[in-house]
Chain A
Amino acid sequence: MPVTDPDRRTEARWARELESMLGPGQVLATPSARKAYDCDAYTIDKSKPSVVVLPETTEQVRDVVRWCNRNQVPYTPRGAGTGLSGGALAAMGGVLISTKRMTRILEVDLPNRCLRAQAGAVNKRISESVAHAGLHFAPDPSSQTVSTLGGNIAENSGGPHTLKYGVTVQHVLALTMVDVDGEIVQVGSKVPGGPGLDLLGVLIGSEGTMGVVTEAWVRLTPNPAKVETVLASFATVRDATQTVADIIAAGTIPAALEMMDEGIMKAVSLAFGLVYPEGAKALLLIECDGDPDAVAGEMRTVLDICAKHGAMDVAVAADEAERQKLWTARKKGIGAMGRIAPTIVTQDGVIPRSKLPEMLDRISEVAARRGIGIANIFHAGDGNLHPCMYFDDRDPAQVEAAVAAGEEILEVCLDLGGSLSGEHGIGVEKIGLMERMFGREGLDLMMDVRRIFNDGDLCNPCKILPNQKGCVEHMRRWRGAAW
């Protein structure tokens, strides 16, 4: 059994041993450091690690994992801690392995359009490092100025441009990871699609439960020659969702197709003084990119469809400055919500696109019944919702209402044939709904697949799969620790 309840002296010994192994300043064990690392961006559940380590190389990660194995101490990988489902929560305490100091770009292969970086490299920095060559790393989570490659890989992150370019799994060629036995292994290849099992396809999106990724080869995508951005407002949510459906059905795949409802529009108006037409109930942000001729054709289709559904106001960006302005509501929408409510929690369900109108009705019904506010901002093109619940977390009743509303919304997603998560992962947050989505047999199969890579209980325990040994009792301590 893992050592999950060490006393202070044991923890102090762990810190000393790890520091002598790694180096001065690479171990944090003060009460304030442990508190700073007691959750990620999902702040409802909290659990302090005993020690935080800051390795700089793959070999140091290996040494830490081996140390954890020898001492039966649980460990949890962590990138920038922007995860929204508690994936980087040290659920059983132990060692938190932070990739904060593993930020180097190691090798750039321009002719083959790929690059090798350490897991702690920040998403945006990867693109910046090859901007001179007209290339970028396509996954663009809204957190990209801080979130790390390792976190993106673990969560299989997407972003506004996922609709056309795919999520992280489409852009990672190979990984170096320290497996749960403390061995350094490579998975995948610079030349994708070879014979045998798609191990990479399973490791990407496994939320750090199958080992610690230390480096990766990623694909680089040419920057589009032309980008056109449209912001259209609509009198009803239904007009906007029907516009989305028609654009997709026409075979046009915009680079981004994002929707914001009235709640977001109000918040953005308050925060940034942006003005939208009187009576507008929904905004669509549509971006087409690529070859200039193709973009021109796509834009004609998009504008026709917007007009057909009675778009009230259609703004097309004339230059990059205007483009950034049109993106404001999308990029800063959640932040703007944060200004009008003390607490916001963003949910992340997915539904088949055609169910969007019905889903939005159900969400407002849940909000009204639970007595909390919900605004909607989402990747409409792929049916990925981000209902943004706003409330005051100083009031335990409101926290409970928000948690219950979130679960109810996810259950509706499942009823409509969708998924519990499009981007944020399961972590500890949605673990209770996994059986509802996959059934006992589905979870058994996932457990067997986890065992291929991780047959123990030390590597990021208590995540994704319910009913893991020891987790249920432990959960009582961190569940709702913020309440």
Chain B
Amino acid sequence: MVNTVLEPQTVEELADAVREAGRIEVLGSGSHVAFDVRGPQACSGLEDWSVALGHPTTLLMHRLTGVVEHHPEDMVVVVRAGTRLTDLQGALAERGQCIPWASPLGDIGTVGGLLALGLPNGLEARCGGWRDWCLGMTIVRPDGRVARSGSQAVKSVAGYDVHKLMIGARGTLGVIAEVILRTLPLGARPEPSWSATGTLSASNLRIQRTLATDFAALLTAAKGLPQVADEATSTLWSADVELPRFGHDWVMRAGCGSRNLEPFDAVQTGWMRRAKKLLDPEGKLNPGALEAI
């Protein structure tokens, strides 16, 4: 089977591409591939789903870029999903604003990709994360329908917050086309209060978050490892080695994709599978990335 590559430049082109295509793998800048199911050594016994399911179409989001609207006085920006975070930060900085995001891996990735992964960040305790900043989205559904969720109002309880479901969904329920985000004045952006030792690598990364009361024990066990530790959210980014687990905690390991969900409870993963069935009944989007649960 030939692997087709699609590179839409507008939401309409994206919708047409998705409608026409069969199975699609959605790629932002590709920087977070390490978190997919086909990463390197980390999760043993993983099938390469692209072989199992046949090479899908690759949907590259890197041309669907740019700020659509920025309203500095309202502190709201509308941005196309393929925009790199660094470019968005640059455009916002010209008007003295920013997205208060700090990742131990740096400002890598596209806005859509970052939302789709929904990884934690180092300013979360003070400024929140994607689910707090994302006010709405334009979503292309697997059949090419274009749906809008949320609004530019900084506070809204109208209808279901469908866009929240897309955050962390790894592009399996819909393709994020445009995103409405709240911004922060640059002057109000705090510095991350984490402590860092050594250098982390995206391909060999483990993120663990515990209850506050378990964090000291985790740090003791992780002593000597390259790491970034954020006490404010009890989050540890470290090289991927075996570390102790604690009640209620969670772990995300690069290269494990949705296998990260395996130790999760059956009820919640059941809902997630149901979400996939209802929103992408033909299993077109990022096949394998959620079904592996």
Comparing B39-47, B54-62, B209-217, the segment that makes contact with chain A is B209-217
Q: Which of A73-81, A91-99, A419-427 contacts B (4 or more CB under 8 A)?
A: A419-427
C-alpha gap A239/B271 in the complex (Å) = 50
Cα A198 to Cα B174 with chains together (Å): 15
B152: Cβ under 8 A from any A Cβ: yes
Residue in B74, B252, B271 whose CB lies within 8 Å of A197: B271
Cβ B152 vs Cβ A452 within 8 A: no
A245 at interface by CB-CB < 8 Å = yes
Q: Does B167 contact A (CB under 8 A)?
A: yes
B159/A438 in contact, CB under 8 A: yes
Contact A111 B212 (CB under 8 A): yes
For B118, what are the chain A residues with a Cβ–Cβ distance below 8 Å? 193, 198
With A112-B212, A354-B73 in contact, do A417 and B151 touch (Cβ < 8 Å)? yes
A444 touches B145 (CB 8 A): yes
Q: Is A418 an interface residue (CB 8 A)?
A: yes
How far apart are A475's CB and chain B's nearest CB, in angstroms?
18
Q: Could you say which residues of chain B place their CB within 8 Å of the CB of A417?
A: 151-153
Find out whether the CB atom of B148 lies under 8 angstroms from the CB atom of A441: yes
- The one of A158, A437, A441, A450 in contact with B160, judged by C-beta atoms closer than 8 angstroms, is A450
Whether B278 pairs with A452 at a CB distance below 8 angstroms is yes
CB under 8 Å from chain B, chain A span 163-221: 166-167, 169-170, 183, 185-187, 189-199, 201-202, 204-206
Contact yes or no, A382 B154, CB < 8 A: yes
Contact of B169 among A158, A197, A249, A448 (CB under 8 A): A197
Which A residues between 316 and 353 are near B, CB-CB below 8 angstroms?
Answer: 350-353
Interface flags for B149-185 (1: CB within 8 Å of A; 0: not) read 1011111111111101101110001100000000011
Residue A229 is within 8 A (CB to CB) of chain B in the complex: no
Contacts of A41 in B (CB 8 A): none
Q: A421 with B212: in contact, given A191-B249, A354-B71 (CB under 8 Å)?
A: no
Q: Does B267 contact A (CB under 8 A)?
A: yes
Beyond A193-B129, A251-B187, A253-B188, is A350–B155 a contact (Cβ under 8 Å)?
yes
B152 & A205 in contact (Cβ 8 Å cutoff): no
Q: A434-477, CB under 8 A of B: which get 1 and which 0?
A: 10011101111110111111000000000011000000000000
CB-contacts of A346-394 with B (<8 A):
350-354, 379, 382-384
Asked if B278 and A191 make an inter-chain contact with CB atoms under 8 angstroms apart, the answer reads: no
B155 in contact with A464 (CB, 8 Å): no
Contact partners of B71 in chain A: CB under 8 A? 352, 354
Check if B32 is an interface residue, CB within 8 A of chain A: no
Tell me the nearest residue of chain A to B146, going by C-beta. Answer: A441
Mark the stretch among B20-28, B198-206, B257-265 that contacts chain A: B257-265
B272 — which chain A residues lie within 8 A by C-beta?
Answer: 196-197, 199
Q: Mark B125-139, 1 if CB is under 8 A from A, else 0.
A: 000110110000001
Which residues of chain B come closer than 8 Å to A422, judged between CB atoms?
Answer: 153, 155-157
**Do A113 and B275 contact each other (CB < 8 Å), given the known contacts A352-B76, A419-B158?**
no
A161 contacts B by Cβ under 8 Å: no
Please report the C-alpha to C-alpha distance between residue A425 and residue B161 in the assembled complex, in whole angstroms. 12
Is B152 a contact of A158 with CB atoms below 8 Å?
Answer: no
Whole-angstrom distance between the Cβ of A351 and the nearest chain B Cβ: 7
B267–A205 CB distance below 8 A? no
| Given contacts A112-B212, A191-B211, A245-B73, A449 and B151 within 8 Å (CB-CB) | no
Q: Does B227 contact A (CB under 8 A)?
A: no
Structural contact, B132 and A166, CB atoms closer than 8 A: yes
Cβ of B67 under 8 Å from chain A: no
- Tell me, in angstroms, the Cα distance from A192 to B162 when the chains sit together: 19
Chain A residues with CB under 8 Å of B155's CB are: 158, 162, 167, 350, 379, 382-384, 419, 422-423
> Do the beta carbons of A449 and B153 come within 8 Å of each other?
no
A189 to B268, CA, bound (A): 10
Question: Would you call A353 and B73 a contact (CB within 8 A)?
Answer: yes
A106 contacts B by Cβ under 8 Å: no
**A-B Cβ contacts below 8 A, count:** 228
- Answer yes or no: A156 CB below 8 A from chain B CBs: yes
Known A-B contacts A191-B211, A354-B73, A442-B147; A170 and B156 likewise in contact (beta carbons under 8 Å): no
Find out whether the CB atom of A189 lies under 8 angstroms from the CB atom of B250.
yes
> Which range holds the interface residue count of chain A?
35 or more
When the two chains form their complex, are residues A350 and B153 in contact, meaning their CB atoms are under 8 A apart?
Answer: yes
Q: How far is the CB of A391 from chain B (nearest CB, A)?
A: 25
Q: A385 to chain B: closest CB distance in Å?
A: 10
User: Quick check: is A248 within 8 A (CB to CB) of the other chain?
Assistant: yes
Query: Do A197 and B76 touch across chains, with their CB atoms under 8 A apart?
Result: no
B286, CB-defined interface residue at 8 Å: no
B213 closest partner in A (C-beta): A111
0/1 interface trace, chain A 232-264, chain B, CB 8 Å (1 if under): 000000000000010011111100000000000
Q: Does A228 contact B (CB under 8 A)?
A: no
- A140 interfacial contact with B, CB 8 Å: no
Q: Are B162 and A202 in contact (CB under 8 A)?
A: yes
A186-B264 in contact given A111-B212, A354-B74 (Cβ < 8 Å): no
Among the interface residues A170, A185, A196, which one has the most CB atoms of the partner chain B within 10 A?
A196
Task: Kindly provide the distance from the CB of B16 to the nearest chain A CB, expressed in whole angstroms.
Answer: 15
How many angstroms from the CA of A197 to the CA of B147 in the assembled complex?
19
Q: Which one, B141, B212, B264, contacts A113 given CB within 8 A?
A: B212
List B contacts of A169 (CB < 8 A). 131, 161
A251 x B168 contact (CB < 8 A)? no
CB of A205 within 8 A of CB of B264, answer no
- Contacts of A437 on B, CB cut-off 8 Å? 151, 158-159
Q: A417-B151, A423-B157, A434-B159 are in contact. Are A112 and B269 (CB under 8 A)?
A: no
List 7 A-B pairs, minimum CB-CB distance, nearest first.
A201-B164, A251-B185, A194-B250, A419-B156, A251-B188, A350-B153, A352-B74
Chain B interfacial positions (CB closer than 8 Å to A): 71-76, 118, 120, 124, 128-129, 131-132, 139, 141, 145-149, 151-162, 164-165, 167-169, 173-174, 184-188, 209-213, 233-234, 248-250, 252, 258, 260-261, 264-265, 267-269, 271-272, 274-275, 278-279, 293
Hey, which bits of chain A sit against chain B, CB under 8 A?
Answer: 111-113, 155-156, 158, 162, 166-167, 169-170, 183, 185-187, 189-199, 201-202, 204-206, 245, 248-253, 350-354, 379, 382-384, 413, 417-426, 430, 434, 437-439, 441-446, 448-453, 464-465
Q: What are some 9 contacts across the A-B interface (CB < 8 A)?
A: A162-B155, A169-B161, A195-B258, A196-B260, A199-B268, A251-B185, A421-B156, A423-B155, A441-B141
Q: With A111-B212, A446-B162 given, can you name 13 additional A-B contacts, CB distance below 8 Å?
A: A191-B209, A198-B164, A201-B161, A251-B188, A350-B151, A354-B74, A417-B153, A421-B158, A422-B153, A422-B156, A434-B159, A445-B149, A448-B279
